[in-house]
Structure 1
């Protein structure tokens, strides 16, 4: 057992120390938590993603107390990840934070030095120039898509890839061309004969659909998020109607499913 009493404060630095102390106790080889002691950086990936998504949910819902709680969970995961790297001898959290501070001071000469900028475009231009000339992060000349975050969700990667290609002219002249491509890929999905062929053609269909979003200035993840919300709302309403009629979802016939769905849609849900 670890004898510890939390001393709350209004000092952010002290509160950060409190959280780091708790993480240190959780990772204590003798008295720490078995689950926390077993975690590796790779184990932490899904958990961190989950906490960030939960914060985003709270943000979208406008729930301030929930936002605070979920942001705290994000900090906990970051500190825990830093502690794991420290214990494994990769780097210390202090080194990580110092490097981060130095980098952001260096990349903001218009704030921490006498460089003058007049707009966001100039800020980004300086940012990229510093990355290349000062930090030596040169682009790979043989990789047009150098800079893509390979661990980003595939939908975001697809949008980024198609947008970069379109910037140099690899694009349809108008929306009609993309619609034709979507229809072409859909037909190829239908005609595909085996699993591998289906997967390939479905990938092409999704890629084309993302381009249709892009050419309409819509982020595909936003469009899909909206569709998800609408479906969940409608299905929950369908569920309520079925219960009111004394029906279980498992017992519904195709005709009943269709009837209930049309009733929901007619309510403008």
Structure 2
């Protein structure tokens, strides 16, 4: 692409995907690009990719539809960034990324794009999806039951995925009651831990069992914890507001008073339903 054509494209407000790809290419240009963008690697960009995915989820959770377009754009930019770095190393291009996911969607939806029957329940189609994914893992020589569960997932999410895989081959508690018993057992082992390393290990075991409990109760532990975080933030904000009306801050108060204000905020929330 000539310099003039490149300039015209990057300044075209309707340039779409080609415009974004050209902007990314120019940001990474070793001679004329942005020094920060040029020095980035897959490893340094990966945390931003995860962060942007969470910001998309946050906008959806808050039903902030006016923000969602921008957050999806930020997430798309992460894919473009990784693809540009891959292209520079001769690994693959953005078009290869798009073609790969398109091929995967065709392969995983034979009931839409192939000859398979579409007269199935959503549950049956999920089972078919899992069968196809198992075949894909086998083609990659991922023969272990737990192979292919991404290490970069949030720990609670990965715990649930590992447990689901194990459950498929019968390695699972038969009911929620046994999991609850295990929660009590792990909590006691944490109580009895004798040093920081041992306590960290036992705490991890307890969290893993709690993820298992969430799975048995059909609860998304990440979503449940996000909701708990939001509730804590909301109620602590009410405590701060109550103190501010008196011209004070939390550090000017004590636990007993703040706990009382917390209970008042909690009661008010429940009264509002």
**Structures share a fold, TM > 0.5?**
yes
State whether structure 2 residue 139 is matched by structure 1 residue 136: yes
Query: Do 2:183 and 2:206's aligned partners in 1 also have CA atoms closer than 8 Å?
Result: yes
TM-superposed deviation, 1:49:
1.3
State whether structure 2 residue 82 is matched by structure 1 residue 77: no
Aligned to 1:7: 12
Aligned to 2:19: 18
Deviations 1:17-72 (A, max 9, x none): 01111111111121111111111111111111111111111112222221011111
Aligned to 1:240: 241
Query: Do 2:83 and 2:93's aligned partners in 1 also have CA atoms closer than 8 Å?
Result: yes
Aligned to 1:125: 128
Deviations 1:108-160 (A, max 9, x none): 333333333422425752773486389824541xx232232222111011112
TM-superposed deviation, 1:243:
0.9
1:44-83 equivalences in 2 (<5 Å): 44-83=45-84
Change (3 A) 1:241 1:42: same
Alignment gaps of 5+ in structure 1: none
Query: Do 1:234 and 1:265's aligned partners in 2 also have CA atoms closer than 8 Å?
Result: yes
Aligned to 1:202: 203
Change (3 A) 1:243 1:216: same
Aligned equivalents of 1:266, 1:109: Cα separation in 2: 53
Deviations 1:69-118 (A, max 9, x none): 11111122211211111112222223333333334334433333333342
1:192-231 equivalences in 2 (<5 Å): 192-231=193-232
Aligned to 1:253: 254
Alignment gaps of 5+ in structure 2: none
Three-state SS of the structure 2 residue aligned to 1:116 is: coil
Aligned equivalents of 1:247, 1:164: Cα separation in 2: 52
Query: Do 2:25 and 2:84's aligned partners in 1 also have CA atoms closer than 8 Å?
Result: yes
Change (3 A) 1:136 1:177: closer
Aligned equivalents of 2:173, 2:138: Cα separation in 1: 37
Change (3 A) 1:138 1:122: farther
Aligned equivalents of 1:217, 1:102: Cα separation in 2: 31
Change (3 A) 1:28 1:171: closer
RMSD: 2.6
Deviations 1:176-211 (A, max 9, x none): 332222122112111111011101111111122222
Aligned equivalents of 2:127, 2:172: Cα separation in 1: 25
Aligned equivalents of 1:226, 1:206: Cα separation in 2: 17
Three-state SS of the structure 2 residue aligned to 1:268 is: helix
Three-state SS of the structure 2 residue aligned to 1:267 is: helix
Change (3 A) 1:144 1:114: closer
Three-state SS of the structure 1 residue aligned to 2:119 is: coil
